[in-house]
Every structure is written in structure tokens, then in C-alpha cells.
Structure 1
Amino acid sequence: MKYINDCDSVLGPSIDISLMEEKTKDRSFTIKHLPYLRSIDEVPETTELVIVGAGLAGITLAARAWHLGFSEEKIAILDTNEMFAENFYKRTKNVKQKVMRSSYIHHLAPSEDLSLADFGRLAIDELSEIEKKQLHLARMSERSLPPLDLFLSHVNHVVKAHNLHNRGFKFDLAKVEQNTDGTWTLISKSGSSIKTKYVILALGQKSKEVQYSNLVINAYEADISSYLNNESNTVSVIGGGNTAAHIILECLKNGKRVNWIIRDEERYACTDIPHKYWRDEGFLPYMKLSLSERINKIKEIYKGSAMLEHYEIFQEYKETKQLNIIEGEGIIDISEDNKKHKTIKLSNDIELSSDLVISAIGLAISSFPEFTNSEYDLFNDFPVLSDETLELKHNKNIFVASSQSALSLGPAAKNIDGARISAERIFSEIAMREGIINKKNKKLKKLTNWSRINPVTN
């Protein structure tokens, strides 16, 4: 078991387990859903910039583009989902998550806009005393955990403040085709198309394929309310990350006995990505690594972990034997008897009996669409990019953000604030190509320097 207490804090981590146990409140900023995307029939024929992905990264990129003049007919946001940030919204809702793991400092809005902390300050009368304390810590630049509903409401604000809901379209991208004039045409599975000069791929992540899918529930796609019932007394949860921990917490609160199966080891950490990778002190050494070394570093950093608050809560359940931890073992087989009880056979020949088996083995980077009249390079499933601009090698004016950019952006690529770092790099280059700035003009560099909080260099 590892307890990684490396919070980016002067005062040390503020651990308050009551944050995880507070009842959900009915408050005015609570939203039922995020803005919906427009129909594919409304997709324009041409535009200047297309962002593929209307998740947290896509919203961040589009908000930055808005400040540079890419608004109204100049931008289109495409996504296969029905609404903005749908995957994030559903995944957190599915496990009844109440608080963000990322602190107040990690949010979507550019620095010119209303920050998440200021958004919380304006809603201070609707926060509980515990939540007010977290906001106070945030305003001192200490570790702080915002309520999930506050974060989602702020996402809603960013979308609407930049008029993104009028430029987002439901579009199931199938192909990216290079035109003879150097522009790009994006083609949907139904045959619809849009022509553009610039493309930013912010495709995010997808749930990994689940083995024994007829016997195992996929935590990323099923709502916990649909399967956690009074008939299930023993639950086995597979996976060592934050989603698994939230499911386990909900099971324990409902009186279930839980087997927690972790292939690696039980880990608790302040954040899923060490803070240094959002700053020069982590980024600069990473950039000196070879591609193979970068992949190894990403794999090391991306090992799943639960929150520090989970550790404090789970200790009591361990002592009462309600929570059973099995670490360092793989699954050999899962079977079911006539009474629907599942038997899990582990690599050490131990067998566990469960009423429910839930898989929370993590997410994988989404696949790229097909490219025609063009080629791109992959290294261990990650696209090879320009480190300086995040432009896809051999493909002028196509840029990559979100998790797919990790090879060049570093481990922070999959985190909320990683989107702001990628936007900084991508739009510095686009603005230069569009003549908004030139190499001698440092205005944009200052404008987009969101991610460099107190940079530390060697």
C-alpha cells in the first residue's frame, strides 16, 4: 500500500472526510445537464477552425479560441455525444461523486474570465461550512476540493459565456481528408462534411474493453443506482483508481461487503498527476527524455490511485473486515452458478464469491479517425507531435490536445489543467500564422500563460 502525500501545499494537505459524506444539496447553481449540441443538419459547410471533442478539453480550447476572434461562423465544435462534457458528467454522476479531485486552480476558463474560485465566491451563501473552508484554502493557493456541482455549473457558465452552445454540433467523425489547397475536410459516418483551415483533435478517453462483459458491470457506462440493490450483499470491484474508490465508498455506505481487487497495489495520492508536471520543474526534464523514456514515465504516472480522503475513510472498514483488499493479483477466470453468484479465480488460486462484479479498470485514449490523402505516426498508440506546437507530424494545421498529446505535453495532458497548457501552445502557433502576433510580439505569450503557476527551473 502506498500513501503519496505530495500535495502542492505549504500548510500540508487539508483532509476532511466529511466532504465525501455530505448530503447533496438543492441549490440554485445546481444543473440537471449541460448544454446540448446542435443537430448535424446544422453543421456549416466551411469554417476556419474545427475542434473535435466537446469535452472538458474541447471547451477549454474553444473558450481560448473565442478570445482570439474565432467566434460565430469561424469555429465549429464537433462531438458524437448529445451534450457538452457528457462523458465527464455521466461518469461522475454514475458513481455518485460529490467532490472534485482536482483543486480549484484546475478549471476551464481562460485567465481573463471568471475563475472557478471566484465563481464559488459569488455562490458563497449556498456553500456549506466545510465547502467554505475549502474555498478559503483555494484563495490561499492551498489544496482545495470544489463541490462537483459547482464545478459543472462553472463548465456550463464557460460554454454559454463564450457562446459555444451555438457552435457545437453532434457529428460522428469518420474521416479526415486533406484537400489540394491545404485545407481539411472532416466527414461524418453519415456522409456530412465540413471544410476548415485548422483542426484541433481533443478526443479524450474511452472506457477500456471489459473482459467477461456478460458477468461484469462496466463502471464507466452503468449508473450505480441501477445495480446496487438490497439483493447484493458482497461486491467485488476491479481497479485501483478514483472511480473504483468512489464505487467502493458507496457500496460500504450501503452496508455491502466489498472485495477490492487491484492488479498493482493499493495507492492513495493527493492528485492523479504530480503537480510538478504542470510546471517547468516537471515539464523540462520530461522533454529531455527519449520517446521510449516518455512512454515509460507516462505509464508510471498513470497508475490508478484513490484520494487521500478515501484512505482515511477506508481504514475503519478494513478493521471491521467489511473491506477486503486484494492487491498484486490478476484475474484468471470469472464464472456464474445457477443462483447468479459470481466466482472470481485469482492468479494466486484464491477464489472470491460475489453477488456483483464491477470493473473500473480505467480509461484508454480514444482512437484517431481515418486519415485520407495524409499519414501520421504513432508511437505506442500515441500520435507523434511537434513538442513546441502540438501539431501532428506531416499534417500542417492539425493539432492534438487532451490525452492524445501526452507524448509531447507530458503526463498533465489527461488532466483538466492540461487542456489549458495545450491551448497555450497551440494558439500561440495559430495566432502567429494568422498574423495576430509575430515572433517579436510577446503579448499572446503573456495572455495565455495560464498554466505556469510559480514556475520552478533548475
Structure 2
Amino acid sequence: MTHTFIPVPEILDSPRGRRLAGAIPVALRVPDHTGLPDSAPVVIVGGGLAALTLAARLWHHGVREYLILERGERIGGQFFDRVAAVGQLVLRSPYEHHPGAEGHRDCEMLDFARLNWEHLTPTERNEVRMAQSGQRAVAPLDIFEAYCSHVAATHGVTERSRRADVREIVAHGDGWRVLTDRGEVRAQAVVLAVGETRRPAPDHWDTASDRVRYWDEPLGEKVTGRHAVVGAGLSAAHIVHDLCSRGLPVDWVFRGTEHYQCADVNAAFFRPEGRAIFHLDALEQRRTMLSVERRPSIMFEFQPRLREWEKSGLLTVHRETEITDLRAHGSGARLHTAADTEPISVDHVHLALGTRTLIAPEVKGVELTLHDGLPAMDEHTLQLADAPGLHAIGAIGSLALGPATRNIDGHRVAAARIADALRARFSSPAPGRAEDRIPTQPIRRSA
């Protein structure tokens, strides 16, 4: 007989908005200065969690003169806005996967949670105990966001960030021109940390209706009526959980069946041997493996409640259902399916169709080698092929590091390799601790 352990779902109810010790929310705010420096040794395009992780690593590597360009108002803003939009209150990643520099004497996220023991719920405290014993344990978003602000504050990230929308990156001599809506910055090295974009619906679907929203668009507090959620991944599950928790009826529609697992990729790819095996495969095998590993999946914690709601009739699950058309209908919408059945009629539709990786902003002056939209890269430096000084962190590096590169733990691996490459280029060769070394090329500011 096979037994499967299903974690308790109460962790999904973790509170938000707590005042936690060690949190410095202002540390995530990107300064809104109109002027940019005219040059910087390293420019990081994008201010998400990958950029935060890289910035912490650069600090420990002695590369302190970098510039983060982020179009939003805060570091990690897109991530935190997205999880808020789906009603997410807990991370999927375990405690040991967190932003920051691995292998240095920084405060770990688990220690940060223990620092806030008095603020944790009994369920959250049990997760901490499990993490201390080496078991899988997930962290509340409150703890994670507060910890991100702590990392930003202790590594001086905000003071090295500026608000700007990067339009183009142009190869220029032995460096790069970074063109933004607020001026141009010359850089000797550029790191793309732009994240992923939502996958759009088919062109013939009617998504212009105010009754249809994408998963990363705000839902709001006052919602009523019957809802349809399209997609089988974690974002879809969070939306379903949020709506059913409010007592609202939901039709959950997806092409296959539910797939529950702890992480969104095989755990082997989080380990050095897994990444090494991946890179030894031929390019075509790697591309196939990436497509297989990107299949939608859901945390085990959801399973008890989703089954209970389905049994009660509050949740109707349409498995192995292909949507052929989506149309506004009266004050709601209708989803037409490939099955010879009546359309699914609802008041609101939520599209959770996943994400896709794009190289943005546009890179000019070099010819990038792409495979299904992903660039060829050096696995040791994460530098794009035929583009000296242009590195990438996050999902863009999937062909080099494997499917886990788009996760927080993958960010730390990529950050370590990029930081090593940049330290070799910009840091003084004089002996001493890496923390004491400074770049040879300071940021130059416009008059």
C-alpha cells in the first residue's frame, strides 16, 4: 500500500500586513530621480527578485558600483503585485530558497522567521520547526517580503537603483549603451534581469470585456457572481482558493488533469549534479526537457480544500476540457469547449495561462543566437553567446542552467556565476577580503 503525505492547508491562510521585526519596507522603494548617471561599470536591467539576489552577491564580491534600472516603484514590485492579484499568501519555495547571497554570513530567511516568532501563527511556527529539522517547509509572504526588504537594506540596493524604463540596449565599442525614457547610460557590462511576461490568450478570444481579466491584473475586494478560472497551474489554484474562500461558485477549466507536487520542477535540477547532467545533454534534448518541466502544477497544500469544495458543489472542475472560444455574453461571458456540450456561462473569467520568456528590451548591434526564443549562453558566466559583457539571470538562462534557473534558488546559482565574472573584470587584484575590494571603474554622473 502506498501512502502520500498531504500537508495541512492552514498555511494558505497566513496573514498579511504584519509589522515584523527587521523589516525595512522603504528599502524596496526605487528612488524616482529624473537624472541618471551617464555611465556605470555594470547596469542591471530590471529590479525584481533576481536583481535583488544578484545585487547582494555583487556586494559580497566587492563589485559595489552597479546600477539597477527598474521601471516600477519598488524592488520586486512585479512579483509582489502579481501574488497580490491572485490572493497568494504563502510561497511555494521552501525556506532555504530565498534572495540573497548563499555561502556568506548573512541572516538566512529561516533565522529571520525565528526573529519574528511572536508574530507567527501556530501553523507558521510548525513550518519553521519542519525547516529546522531539514523538512520541506514553506514561508508566508509576510516573512518573505520583510526579508527581501532586509536584504535590500543591508546590501545598499536601493541607493544603487533608479526608476527608468529601458527601451534598447545597443552594443557600442567594448561596452553598451542602455537607452531609457530618462536618458542614456553607458555600461561596460549589462545584466538582463527582466523576468517573464504573461502568456496571452488566443487572438480570437474576446479579452476586451471588463468581465475578463488576466491573472496578474488586480481582482479587487468586491466581487460577486459565478467565476470561471482557466488554467491548471499555481496561479489558477490561488485564484480558485481565493474565490471559493469568499463563498463564490467557481468553474475551473483546464486541458489536462491536476498535477500536485512540492516544486514546479524536478528537485534534481536544484542540485549541482542535476544541472551538470542537464548541460551534458544535446541542445534538442535540453529544449524538450524544458518544455516537459514547464507543465503546470500545484502545491500539495491545496488538495484537501479543493477536493472539499468540489464535493460540496461550490467548485466545478472541468478536466480535460479544451476551450475553443471565449465571448462576452450579456453581463457576463461564455466559454465554448471542444466537447459537444452547452457553453460554460459565468459572470467573470480569470485567465491564468502561464508565462513566457522574452528577451526584452531589444538588443541591437550584435546577432544573438536563439533557440525557441532562448539565447545560447556560457554556462559558467551566463554571458550571451557573441555578446561580450551581456549577461542574463532568470528564465532567459534556461538553456544554460536548466528549468530551475527561473526559480529563486536558480537566481542564486546564476548570481554567483555572474558575480564571479564581473569581479574578475572590475575588482582590484590586490589581496584581502572580497567584501573590501572595490571596482576600478566608478559610476560617473552627468553634470
Q: Which residue of 2 aligns with 1:109?
A: 100
CA distance in 1, matches of 2:191, 2:361: 13
Q: Which residue of 1 aligns with 2:316?
A: 324
Verify: 1:375 aligned to 2:394, yes or no.
Answer: no
Unaligned runs of 5+ residues in structure 2 are 435-447
Distance 1:345 1:137, change over 3 A: same
- Alpha-carbon offset, residue 44 of structure 1: 0.8
Superposition pairs for residues 268-279 of structure 1, below 5 Å? 268-279=260-271
Unaligned runs of 5+ residues in structure 1 are 6-11, 445-458
Q: Which residue of 2 aligns with 1:213?
A: 207
- Alpha-carbon offset, residue 191 of structure 1: 6.0
Q: Which residue of 2 aligns with 1:406?
A: 398
Give the counterpart of 2:167 among 174, 177, 190: 174
Distance 1:23 1:368, change over 3 A: closer
What amino acid maps onto 1:404 in structure 2? I
Superposition pairs for residues 147-166 of structure 1, below 5 Å? 147-166=140-159
CA distance in 1, matches of 2:280, 2:39: 40
Deviates more, 1:216-225 or 1:139-148: 216-225
Superposition pairs for residues 282-361 of structure 1, below 5 Å? 282-338=274-330, 340-350=331-341, 351-361=343-353
- Alpha-carbon offset, residue 396 of structure 1: 0.8
- C-alpha contact 1:365 1:404 (8 A) present in aligned 2: yes
Verify: 1:185 aligned to 2:177, yes or no.
Answer: yes
- Alpha-carbon offset, residue 437 of structure 1: 6.8
- Alpha-carbon offset, residue 34 of structure 1: 6.4
What amino acid maps onto 1:268 in structure 2? Y
Verify: 1:18 aligned to 2:13, yes or no.
Answer: no
The superposition leaves residues 110-143 of structure 1 with CA deviations (integer Å, 9 ceiling, x where unpaired) of 1321110011111111111211111111112210
- C-alpha contact 1:277 1:283 (8 A) present in aligned 2: yes
Q: Which residue of 1 aligns with 2:187?
A: 196
Q: Which residue of 2 aligns with 1:97?
A: 88
**After TM superposition, what 4+ stretches of structure 1 lie above 6 angstroms from structure 2?**
30-34
Q: Which residue of 1 aligns with 2:443?
A: none
- Alpha-carbon offset, residue 368 of structure 1: 2.4
CA distance in 1, matches of 2:94, 2:219: 25
Verify: 1:55 aligned to 2:37, yes or no.
Answer: no
- C-alpha contact 2:16 2:141 (8 A) present in aligned 1: no
Give the counterpart of 1:142 among 117, 128, 135: 135
CA distance in 1, matches of 2:215, 2:153: 27
Give the counterpart of 1:391 among 377, 380, 383: 383
Verify: 1:124 aligned to 2:117, yes or no.
Answer: yes
Calculate the TM-score normalised by the size of structure 2: 0.89
Give secondary structure in 2 for the equivalent of 1:224. Answer: coil
- Alpha-carbon offset, residue 370 of structure 1: 2.4
Distance 1:22 1:159, change over 3 A: closer
The superposition leaves residues 268-316 of structure 1 with CA deviations (integer Å, 9 ceiling, x where unpaired) of 1111122211112321221122222111111111111111011121111
What amino acid maps onto 2:213 in structure 1? N
Q: Which residue of 1 aligns with 2:218?
A: 223
Q: Provide the alpha-carbon RMSD of the alignment.
A: 2.3
Higher relative contact order (CA 8 A, sep 6+): 2
- C-alpha contact 2:38 2:184 (8 A) present in aligned 1: yes
CA distance in 1, matches of 2:297, 2:115: 32
Give the percent of matched residue pairs that are identical in Structure 1 and Structure 2. 26
- Alpha-carbon offset, residue 429 of structure 1: 2.3
What amino acid maps onto 1:100 in structure 2? L
The superposition leaves residues 213-249 of structure 1 with CA deviations (integer Å, 9 ceiling, x where unpaired) of 12353343322225x523x1x2110011111101101
Deviates more, 1:260-269 or 1:207-216: 207-216
Q: Which residue of 2 aligns with 1:36?
A: 29
Distance 1:67 1:42, change over 3 A: farther
Give secondary structure in 2 for the equivalent of 1:268. Answer: coil
Give secondary structure in 1 for the equivalent of 2:138. Answer: coil
- C-alpha contact 1:34 1:85 (8 A) present in aligned 2: no
- C-alpha contact 1:100 1:145 (8 A) present in aligned 2: yes
- C-alpha contact 1:405 1:413 (8 A) present in aligned 2: yes
- C-alpha contact 1:76 1:167 (8 A) present in aligned 2: yes
CA distance in 2, matches of 1:179, 1:24: 46
Give secondary structure in 2 for the equivalent of 1:90. Answer: helix
The superposition leaves residues 173-209 of structure 1 with CA deviations (integer Å, 9 ceiling, x where unpaired) of 11112222x0111111x36111111111111011222
- Alpha-carbon offset, residue 31 of structure 1: 7.5
- C-alpha contact 1:286 1:410 (8 A) present in aligned 2: yes
- Alpha-carbon offset, residue 321 of structure 1: 2.2
Give secondary structure in 1 for the equivalent of 2:339. Answer: coil
- Alpha-carbon offset, residue 13 of structure 1: 5.6
- Alpha-carbon offset, residue 32 of structure 1: 6.9
Verify: 1:246 aligned to 2:238, yes or no.
Answer: yes
- C-alpha contact 2:35 2:182 (8 A) present in aligned 1: no
Calculate the TM-score normalised by the size of structure 1: 0.87
